[in-house]
């Protein structure tokens, strides 16, 4: 009886660690995606380097893979004229507000073995997630004014 009680308590503690919304999101995000388009909240031409890696033009058309059971993934830059190849990252989905369903998506670039060389990560808003589409939004500031970068994905 004592072992059964410990088992029940252990299962209860582990199941409380992540909200139902985040667990469902991890199921949906699992798999392969393509980053189709990147657009900005302000009109104009901007020289933006995303994730301290490459430009918007290089990221468009990149393929992404998410493995939620260990919070890892890869993206592959394929556009000619860009620094092509596979990049590795760890990610976490953190629920901000269960009422609105808004999330923070934390992405931390790593090497192939999952180690971060800079210990730097990026906080993005997971503003939309369905079985077919996903959108991230990153806010940066230009002259103390918010500037939104929207990254639009489709599932493969």
Arch. (CATH architecture) of 16-155: Beta Barrel (2.40)
> pLDDT by residue (tens digit) across 83-136?
999 999 999 888 776 666 667 889 999 999 999 988 899 999 988 888 999 999
CA distances from 133 to 28, 56, 96, 138, 156 (A): 10, 19, 20, 17, 10
Confidence (pLDDT) at 24:
76
Q: Any alpha helices (H) in the chain, and if so which ranges?
A: 2-16, 20-29, 56-59
| Cβ atoms of 133 and 155 closer than 8 Å | yes
Q: Taking phi first (over 0 means left), then psi (-120 to 50 degrees means alpha), and beta for anything else, what does residue 44 get? A: left
pLDDT per residue as tens digits for the range 5-30: 333 333 333 444 556 666 777 788 99
């Amino acid at each position: 009886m004592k072992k059964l009680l410990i088992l029940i308590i252990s299962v209860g503690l582990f199941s409380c660690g992540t909200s139902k919304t985040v667990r469902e999101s991890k199921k949906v995000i699992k798999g392969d995606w393509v980053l189709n388009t990147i657009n900005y909240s302000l009109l104009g031409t901007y020289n933006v380097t995303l994730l301290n890696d490459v430009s918007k033009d290089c990221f468009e058309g990149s393929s992404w893979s998410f493995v939620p059971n260990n919070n890892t993934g890869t993206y592959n830059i394929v556009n000619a004229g860009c620094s092509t190849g596979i990049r590795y990252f760890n990610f976490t989905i953190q629920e901000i507000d269960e009422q609105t369903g808004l999330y923070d998506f934390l992405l931390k670039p790593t090497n192939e073995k999952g180690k971060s060389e800079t210990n730097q990560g990026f906080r993005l808003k997971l503003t939309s997630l369905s079985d077919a589409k996903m959108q991230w939004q990153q806010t940066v500031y230009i002259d103390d004014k918010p500037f939104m970068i929207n990254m639009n994905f489709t599932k493969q």
